[in-house]
Chains A and B, each alone.
Chain A
Amino acid sequence: MIFGQIIALSGLTKHKVYTVYIDSMKSITLQSLLDQGTVWAGELTPREKGRTTGHTQLDELLAHGGWPKQGVVDIQVSAPGQGELQLLLPSLAQADERLWVWLDPPLQPCAQGIRQAGIALKRCLILRTENAGDALWALERCLQSGCVDSALAWLRRPPNNKALRRLQMAAETGGTLAHLIHDEHWPADAGTHARVALWPSQTAGHLHAQIVRQRGGPQQRPIVMPLLAQQACSPPVPKPAQLGPVHLDPQPRLSLQPSLQLAL
């Protein structure tokens, strides 16, 4: 359908403007194509600002300067509890008031730990499903509803391309970000926005993270992220013994005037 050529107006203008003519009638800007994330742009600066991950190192490597605003991202960990929540919690703490869905978490989330990360507990909705069909249905329903900010899903088996496409569509409808957390057995070419692989580092409290694949950006080399180090490994700061504020009762007011006054 595209038979015109791409005209690049560059030079004096600060922003490059590309125009693609389709059917010689409708003109759509390249910018709109780039915003959809369907065209790979080599040297252009990131277009749409994503959601910050809360880790500056990771933000720099991701194409949108963070997680995409909406879409499906998959995270590969070898076993639950390797640091996947530590990776995601900072970005969720900055999210809006919509729900945060956990679909079939492998263990019980610890309320105190979640609260410590700065997330309101009333936003957390944990769903337990009985079979793979229900799980996919529930995830799609949550993503498209528009009242879920992000969803975290542990699916029983890798969804096929059709199911993934549906999840993508649902996430775009509802403006939701979904993280699919899985092990190494998933196919490498899952059609998600990005894949991040995590594995523990030998340094305690550090984590290796690699962006294996992402839309609109290149594969990145593994980085080491100090996920838990600062908080967990530093010894607790000894606090001076706290004394509760002393409440002094206000001096009872004594009325010195005689209660009875004689009428003169």
Chain B
Amino acid sequence: MKRQFIAILADDVPLAAAQIGGATTPCCVIENQRVLCADPNAEKLGIHPGMSQGTAIALSADLTLYPRHLATEQGLMQGLAQWAYRHSSWVHWNEDCLIVEVAGSEKLFGGLESLWQRLHSRTLRHIGRCRVALGPNPEAAVLLARLEWQTLDVNQAQEWLTKIPLTRLPLNAPLIQRLSAMGLNQIESLLAFSSADLARRFPIELKDYLDRLLGRKPDLRPTWTPQENFHSTLSLQQACHNAQALAFPIKHLLDQLANFLKTRQWSCLEFTLTFINEDRQQQPLTLALGQGLHRTEAMIEPLKLHLNKITLSAPVIDIQLTSDRFRVWRGETGDLMKPQPKDTQSELLIALQARLGKHALQGLNLAASWLPERANIQQAFGLDVQEPGVTYDNIRPTWLLPTPLPMAPHDLKTLQWLRGPERIEAHWWQDQGGRRDYHVASQSGALVWVFKDLRTQQWYLHGLFG
């Protein structure tokens, strides 16, 4: 099968990165004192890429200039590549360009046109304006995208390659000048040379490029492979002092994480946010997600509760989201006939844990011991619970005092004895062992559970039948 590639040149990546960081319109991104990218509102004011910074400011007073943030841009492109990986196993990305092999998955996604539409609309929605083209090999697809020569027929694209003017090739300027001085205008005219001639007359990069463009030589670009761990960075345009205000930019990172999880059918057990200030000092915040979450909306709530509790040590300029603890996502099918609960049990538990703290959630458990204070355990909620099927012959109270309360002799006189004694004798081989006679008694109407320590002859109150 003949391979076909779609290349997407995302021109607006610097702008998208600035917008995530909180840019306002009209704005443009500046690199080396020159406008790299301007948003539609700025373009209406007459500002174009390539213009100097001074000219741009002179044209409009409302314009805001932002520096370029490569780390955020890479995160965006990587997110796009990750999404594209759902459509093809051959995906390559670099700073402003994404190339996807489409011949293999054309049939699955209902033809080339719908696949093209999917890639195009996703880029439009998540990044912004872009140029798309189809080509017989990666280099050709990129070049056709740059020229905006679009076709859905790969043979047509192959024919077009020879018609491309040499001035539009991404080669260095002296070489292009030399070619035009020799009267060579189109790629066709270069093909008249034998390859030995071409190598002798011109620098080697021309032959190299031509071979890759025409598919004579394999294109050895690294393809994107899915990562094991999640890592993404976001740079803010202005330093942020308020922890709660960070929830909005973090949502973009969580979207990326949710996408990462979705492609792998995983759910995230824990993620770490690192807030980096201007002095590159880091303040980490780790969120445990209980049994695991995979949707952005579900992750936002515990995040907001955590952000309410922390104070930032210094204004934040960069946010990093990392996660390496995942679990296979187990889908839950709700009952169609029943009203759907607002959230799942794990979402509730995570929210409660986020606001009340780790130790606020407790559960009950039983241990194999005769002594009541050892048999009844309070532990962190969610741990394994031993539930023996055995029911006790003797009644047990519903409330247990953490430590038995000594009773005075005159208290004993008010008790009305109902049931007992029940001898509990355990740990006699240890010092802290017990030898007790338990009784159920009534104390002015309420039932209590009392025992007599047979070692010291002292009476204690141990439980209430509340």
Interface residues of A (CB under 8 A from B): 79-86, 89, 99, 107-117, 120-122, 124-130, 134, 137-138, 141-142, 144-148, 173-175, 199-202, 204-207, 228, 231-236, 239
Interface residues of B (CB under 8 A from A): 339-345, 347-349, 351-352, 355-356, 359-366, 372, 375-378, 381, 385, 387, 391-402, 416, 418-419, 440, 442, 444-448, 463-466
Q: Enumerate chain B residues within 8 angstroms of A114, measured Cβ to Cβ.
A: 364, 398
Contact of B363 with A145 in the complex, beta carbons under 8 Å: no
A110-B376, A173-B342 given as contacts; is B356 within 8 A of A200 (CB)? no
Query: For the complex, what is the distance from the CA of A117 to the CA of B398, rounded to whole Å?
Result: 9
Contact of A110 with B348 in the complex, beta carbons under 8 Å: no
Q: Nearest chain A CB to B127's CB is how many angstroms away? A: 37
Contact of A86 with B356 in the complex, beta carbons under 8 Å: no
Cβ-closest 10 pairs across A and B: A200-B445, A146-B341, A81-B464, A81-B466, A204-B442, A110-B400, A112-B396, A111-B364, A126-B362, A113-B398
Closest-by-CB residue of B relative to A105 is B399
Contact of A204 with B418 in the complex, beta carbons under 8 Å: yes
Query: For the complex, what is the distance from the CA of A161 to the CA of B349, rounded to whole Å?
Result: 27
Contact of A204 with B445 in the complex, beta carbons under 8 Å: yes
Closest-by-CB residue of A relative to B399 is A107
Contact of B372 with A116 in the complex, beta carbons under 8 Å: no
Query: For the complex, what is the distance from the CA of A147 to the CA of B347, rounded to whole Å?
Result: 10
Contact of B465 with A81 in the complex, beta carbons under 8 Å: yes
Query: For the complex, what is the distance from the CA of A111 to the CA of B339, rounded to whole Å?
Result: 32
Contact of B352 with A142 in the complex, beta carbons under 8 Å: yes
- Given A84-B466, A110-B397, A113-B395, 18 other A-B contacts at CB below 8 A? A80-B399, A83-B466, A108-B399, A109-B399, A111-B364, A111-B365, A111-B377, A113-B398, A114-B398, A125-B363, A126-B381, A128-B360, A129-B356, A145-B343, A146-B343, A148-B348, A232-B447, A233-B440
Closest-by-CB residue of B relative to A201 is B445
Contact of A116 with B396 in the complex, beta carbons under 8 Å: yes
The one of B341, B359, B402, B445 that contacts A174, using a Cβ cutoff of 8 Å: B341
A110-B463, A112-B392, A116-B392 given as contacts; is B352 within 8 A of A127 (CB)? yes
Contact of B399 with A85 in the complex, beta carbons under 8 Å: yes
Query: For the complex, what is the distance from the CA of A144 to the CA of B341, rounded to whole Å?
Result: 9
Q: Nearest chain B CB to A238's CB is how many angstroms away? A: 10
Query: For the complex, what is the distance from the CA of A82 to the CA of B445, rounded to whole Å?
Result: 8
Contact of A232 with B342 in the complex, beta carbons under 8 Å: no
The one of A115, A116, A138, A146 that contacts B352, using a Cβ cutoff of 8 Å: A138
Query: For the complex, what is the distance from the CA of A125 to the CA of B348, rounded to whole Å?
Result: 11
Q: Enumerate chain A residues within 8 angstroms of B341, measured Cβ to Cβ.
A: 145-147, 174
Q: Enumerate chain A residues within 8 angstroms of B339, measured Cβ to Cβ.
A: 146, 175
Contact of B360 with A141 in the complex, beta carbons under 8 Å: no
Q: Nearest chain A CB to B280's CB is how many angstroms away? A: 35
Query: For the complex, what is the distance from the CA of A115 to the CA of B466, rounded to whole Å?
Result: 15
Query: For the complex, what is the distance from the CA of A81 to the CA of B351, rounded to whole Å?
Result: 31
Query: For the complex, what is the distance from the CA of A108 to the CA of B397, rounded to whole Å?
Result: 11
Q: Enumerate chain B residues within 8 angstroms of A85, measured Cβ to Cβ.
A: 398-399, 466
Q: Enumerate chain B residues within 8 angstroms of A115, measured Cβ to Cβ.
A: 366, 387, 391
Contact of A233 with B355 in the complex, beta carbons under 8 Å: no
Contact of A121 with B366 in the complex, beta carbons under 8 Å: yes
The one of B344, B348, B372 that contacts A112, using a Cβ cutoff of 8 Å: B372
Closest-by-CB residue of A relative to B466 is A81
Q: Nearest chain A CB to B287's CB is how many angstroms away? A: 17
Q: Nearest chain B CB to A83's CB is how many angstroms away? A: 6
Q: Nearest chain B CB to A111's CB is how many angstroms away? A: 4
Contact of A145 with B342 in the complex, beta carbons under 8 Å: yes
A124-B363, A126-B362, A174-B342 given as contacts; is B400 within 8 A of A109 (CB)? yes
Q: Enumerate chain A residues within 8 angstroms of B466, measured Cβ to Cβ.
A: 80-86, 107
Q: Nearest chain B CB to A53's CB is how many angstroms away? A: 16
Q: Enumerate chain A residues within 8 angstroms of B392, measured Cβ to Cβ.
A: 112, 116
Q: Nearest chain B CB to A98's CB is how many angstroms away? A: 8
Q: Enumerate chain B residues within 8 angstroms of A201, measured Cβ to Cβ.
A: 445
Query: For the complex, what is the distance from the CA of A202 to the CA of B387, rounded to whole Å?
Result: 36
Contact of B464 with A205 in the complex, beta carbons under 8 Å: no
Query: Would you mind naming 20 contact pairs between A and B with Cβ atoms under 8 Å apart?
Result: A80-B464, A81-B464, A84-B466, A86-B398, A107-B466, A113-B463, A113-B465, A115-B387, A121-B366, A121-B385, A122-B385, A124-B363, A126-B364, A128-B360, A129-B356, A146-B339, A175-B339, A200-B444, A204-B416, A233-B419
Q: Nearest chain B CB to A159's CB is how many angstroms away? A: 18
Contact of A109 with B363 in the complex, beta carbons under 8 Å: no
Contact of B464 with A142 in the complex, beta carbons under 8 Å: no
Contact of A128 with B446 in the complex, beta carbons under 8 Å: no
Q: Nearest chain B CB to A132's CB is how many angstroms away? A: 13
Q: Nearest chain A CB to B373's CB is how many angstroms away? A: 10
Q: Enumerate chain B residues within 8 angstroms of A110, measured Cβ to Cβ.
A: 372, 376, 396-400, 463
Q: Nearest chain B CB to A189's CB is how many angstroms away? A: 27
Q: Enumerate chain B residues within 8 angstroms of A231, measured Cβ to Cβ.
A: 395
Closest-by-CB residue of A relative to B462 is A110
Q: Enumerate chain B residues within 8 angstroms of A109, measured Cβ to Cβ.
A: 364, 398-400
Q: Nearest chain A CB to B42's CB is how many angstroms away? A: 45
Contact of A125 with B361 in the complex, beta carbons under 8 Å: yes
Q: Enumerate chain A residues within 8 angstroms of B366, measured Cβ to Cβ.
A: 111-112, 115, 121
Contact of B356 with A127 in the complex, beta carbons under 8 Å: yes
Closest-by-CB residue of B relative to A147 is B345
Q: Enumerate chain A residues within 8 angstroms of B399, measured Cβ to Cβ.
A: 80-81, 85, 107-110, 113
Contact of B342 with A144 in the complex, beta carbons under 8 Å: yes
Q: Nearest chain B CB to A47's CB is how many angstroms away? A: 19
Query: For the complex, what is the distance from the CA of A146 to the CA of B341, rounded to whole Å?
Result: 4
Contact of A127 with B402 in the complex, beta carbons under 8 Å: no
Q: Nearest chain A CB to B301's CB is how many angstroms away? A: 10
Q: Nearest chain B CB to A112's CB is how many angstroms away? A: 4
Query: For the complex, what is the distance from the CA of A101 to the CA of B397, rounded to whole Å?
Result: 19
Closest-by-CB residue of A relative to B348 is A145
A80-B464, A112-B376 given as contacts; is B352 within 8 A of A232 (CB)? no
Q: Enumerate chain A residues within 8 angstroms of B372, measured Cβ to Cβ.
A: 110, 112
Query: For the complex, what is the distance from the CA of A238 to the CA of B464, rounded to whole Å?
Result: 25
Q: Enumerate chain A residues within 8 angstroms of B361, measured Cβ to Cβ.
A: 125-127
Q: Nearest chain B CB to A176's CB is how many angstroms away? A: 10
Closest-by-CB residue of B relative to A110 is B400
Q: Enumerate chain B residues within 8 angstroms of A124, measured Cβ to Cβ.
A: 363-364
Query: For the complex, what is the distance from the CA of A82 to the CA of B465, rounded to whole Å?
Result: 7
